[in-house]
Amino acid sequence: MKIVMLGAPGAGKGTQAKKIAESFGVPHISTGDIFRANIKNNTELGKKAKVYMDKGELVPDELVVDLIMDRFSEPDCSNGYVLDGYPRTIPQAEALDSALKANNDSLDFAVNVDVPDEEIISRMSGRRACLKCGATYHTSFNPPKEEGVCDKCGEALVQREDDKEETVKNRLGVYHEQTEPLEKYYAEAGLLHNVDGTKNMDEVFDSIKIIIG
Ligand code: AP5
Ligand code: MG
Ligand code: ZN
């Protein structure tokens, strides 16, 4: 099963992608998580990506496409994957299509998690992330058992650099301009499914399960 998650920053792509990955036994691949891990480990890729991420801008396509193609070659991708945060531009979607086509393969679903901009801002301000294991929390909607500590691995939780209000606004602008056109792209391919992302996390997951079976 090969799924692409679409949606604005903070719509809940990562939250839902983790649930899909667990239930369906496919890896959750988040380009944002991969970049953040590279930044944490101070790699060359991390240094390049950080410049764009801190401003809320997209990392250039060529850096992202190489990275994702490498990731697909790992053995855990043999039964599919759920992509979270990739593709984010039309050229990235085209690169994915041609890579799949070269293997006589194709995507199964593009799931768009729909949340209006006003709600995004409040979600982002409460988000807390574990940079060690990738778990995500929200101070009101999904708090950890002990404040500031990851339930899964005990690491201290942090607020993401790019979750400051000004940066979130810029990310939303970039999303509407460069990423939203993918809805039309996948609708024309007959793959697009919209879900109402304003419901609670379990309800959103229920709607996704109905779509992907
Ligand atoms: P990335 O990490 O992908 O960020 P994003 O798209 O901005 O998305 P987020 O991770 O912020 O949100 P999400 O939709 O995953 O929401 P979440 O589930 O956490 O990318 C970061 C940056 O990396 C980009 O800006 C760019 O610079 C770069 N980058 C990455 N990929 C790239 C690419 N392909 N090309 C170029 N550049 C790239 O949920 C958000 C919060 O809401 C959480 O606190 C959560 O607990 C809560 N929540 C979730 N669902 C609900 C719900 N139903 N009700 C209430 N609260 C909820
Ligand atoms: Mg995410
Ligand atoms: Zn953790």
Say yes or no: CB of residue 50 within 6 Å of ligand 1.
Answer: no
| Nearest ligand, CA 7 | 1
What confidence score (pLDDT) does residue 152 get?
97
Instruction: Report the chain's terminal Cα–Cα distance, integer Å.
Output: 11
What confidence score (pLDDT) does residue 109 get?
98
Query: Can you say whether the dihedral through the CA atoms of 119, 126, 26, 8 is positive or negative?
Result: positive
Say yes or no: CB of residue 143 within 6 Å of ligand 1.
Answer: no
pLDDT digits (tens, 9 = 90+) for 47-106: 999 999 999 999 999 999 999 999 999 999 999 999 999 999 999 999 999 999 999 999
Q: Where are the alpha helices (H) located in the chain, listed in sequence order? A: 13-24, 31-40, 44-55, 61-72, 90-102, 117-126, 165-174, 181-188, 201-212
Q: Is 127 a catalytic residue?
A: yes
Q: Is 13 a catalytic residue?
A: yes
- 30 backbone φψ class: left, alpha, beta (φ>0; ψ -120 to 50): beta
| Nearest ligand, CA 154 | 3
What confidence score (pLDDT) does residue 164 get?
86
Say yes or no: CB of residue 134 within 6 Å of ligand 1.
Answer: no
> Which residues, other chains included, contact 43 with Cβ-Cβ below 8 Å and sequence gap of 6+?
none
Residue extents of the structural domains in the chain: 2-212
> Residue with structure tokens 């939780």?
157
What is the Å distance from ligand 3's center to 36 Cα? 14
Report the alpha-carbon distance of residue 153 to residue 125 in Å, rounded.
23
* Prediction pTM value: 0.93
What confidence score (pLDDT) does residue 202 get?
97
Q: Which CATH architecture has domain 2-212?
A: 3-Layer(aba) Sandwich (3.40)
Report the alpha-carbon distance of residue 174 to residue 66 in Å, rounded.
22
- Residue 102 phi, psi (nearest 5): -60, -25
For the chain, 213 residues long, give each residue's pLDDT as a single digit of tens. 999 999 999 999 999 999 999 999 999 999 999 999 999 999 999 999 999 999 999 999 999 999 999 999 999 999 999 999 999 999 999 999 999 999 999 999 999 999 999 899 888 989 999 988 989 999 999 999 999 999 999 999 999 889 988 899 999 999 999 999 999 999 999 999 999 999 999 999 999 999 998
What confidence score (pLDDT) does residue 100 get?
95
Amino acid making up residue 198: T
- Residue 156 phi, psi (nearest 5): -70, 135
